[in-house]
Structure 1
């Protein structure tokens, strides 16, 4: 078992941890059931357009691949988001050259049938607390496509500031991404957040205390 498997984040609503095999398979089933409204595409890579079985497989494969390629200078933590012991979505925290940049990024999705219940807000708050309080980050960056109002709402609620825009293409169509940034001075936990099992992960994440 990797040290990251012992890392646990807990809020009053959700728990975040790197899933074991059985949990990861159940997380794939959540993705197969649907992640977002078909009228929008919130991701740069449109993986949710895959058929359900392939969508589930991609969740499993991408999680294993992330854990397999992690180094202290380039890492991602592929958390599953759990509510009452069952997976409801995914929240990743990532960084390159963290020891120098002290900057993290993130990406997430919540199963569509679980939308509107606060899981996304609690999951993002948990990884921000890990970044700023646990790892000593100076900045956290994120972004959202202009048609992804749910992501914009979560980011605004937690204290990100706009940091410019990028114009790209998704599925052959123009997509505008609003870039966001938060500093450690901006961070104020909106509810209690617990971190367990971090000390054994620090060297794997390039953090030297």
Structure 2
């Protein structure tokens, strides 16, 4: 039996003009670890709520694998996260996550991502977020999308503004032990989404939906 039949999410593919996004498979781990080790952010800034990106390579690799396996084990209709490997010309350059909690009632997704420094500043962060939003709004039936970023993270917040997100409050964050900062929350409705000029190409959507939304 093919893996796409055993775990239908593995058959899902989202294609934007420059990128392919697919749910992370075990064979993606080496490339994703190499991408993360190559550098995601400046050493004096921590954009994540947990400083996983600062671990030494072997520990980073193990934690990434454990995290991704945990997402699969914990996937239910009530709470799910799809973690997409982001590839450019077939090479992993980052990850884009989308999560639904009590999605059938809330019709809301949350998202997060990382992208190697080498590929930042080229509009790819906007492209991968827009692709995720089109999947969530057009295929999953989401009505709202939420996200957040550290207040200093102008690139992430700039992507949010560009796509139509509105401010949705602030909270305190602890990026590293002994450090604190402000986290900016943002929210976007399907009607407010500023769509790009291109269309998303999505494959394997219906089997993936049946796994995520079994009552649909």
Secondary structure at 1:170's aligned position in 2? coil
Instruction: Report the secondary structure of 1:105's partner residue.
Output: strand
Give the Å deviation of 1:208: 3.7
Matches within 5 A, 1:141-160: 141-160=146-165
Task: Give the secondary-structure state (helix, strand or coil) at the position aligned to 1:81.
Answer: strand
Give the SS at the match of 1:35: coil
Report if the CA contact (8 A) 1:91-1:108 is conserved.
yes
Q: What TM-score does the superposition give when structure 2 sets the normalisation length?
A: 0.92
Q: What stretches of structure 2 of length at least 5 have no aligned partner? A: none
The answer on whether the counterparts of 1:161 and 1:182 sit within 8 Å (CA) in structure 2 is: yes
Report whether the alignment pairs 1:204 with 2:211. yes
1:194 aligns with 2:168: no
Aligned residues: CA RMSD: 1.3
Shift of the alpha carbon at 1:74? 0.5
Separation in structure 1 between the aligned mates of residue 79 and residue 15 of structure 2, nearest angstrom: 25
Q: TM-score with structure 1 length normalisation?
A: 0.95
Question: What whole-Å deviation, never above 9, does each CA across 1:178-197 have from its counterpart, x for those lacking one?
Answer: 11000011124212211111
How far 1:164 sits from its partner (Å)?
A: 1.0
Kept in 1, the 8 Å contact 2:162–2:194? The answer is: no
1:182 matched to which residue of 2?
A: 188
Q: Give how far 1:124 is off.
A: 0.8
> Given that residues 33 and 52 in structure 1 are in contact (C-alpha distance below 8 angstroms), is that contact kept between their aligned partners in structure 2?
no
Instruction: Tell me, yes or no, if the aligned pair for 1:31 and 1:59 is still in contact at 8 Å.
Output: no
- Contact 1:73–1:96 (8 Å) recurs in 2: yes
**What residue ranges of structure 1 are gaps of 5+ in the alignment?**
none
Deviation at 1:13, TM superposition (A): 1.1
- CA–CA distance in structure 1, aligned partners of residues 49 and 145 of structure 2: 19
Residue number among 31, 37, 42 corresponding to 2:36 in the alignment:
31
CA offset digits 1:82-107 (Å, max 9, x no partner) = 11111110000001110010000001
| 1:108 aligned onto 2:122 | no
Corresponding residue for residue 17 of structure 1 = 22
Tell me the matched-pair count: 209
Spell out structure 1 runs of 4+ moving beyond 4 A.
none
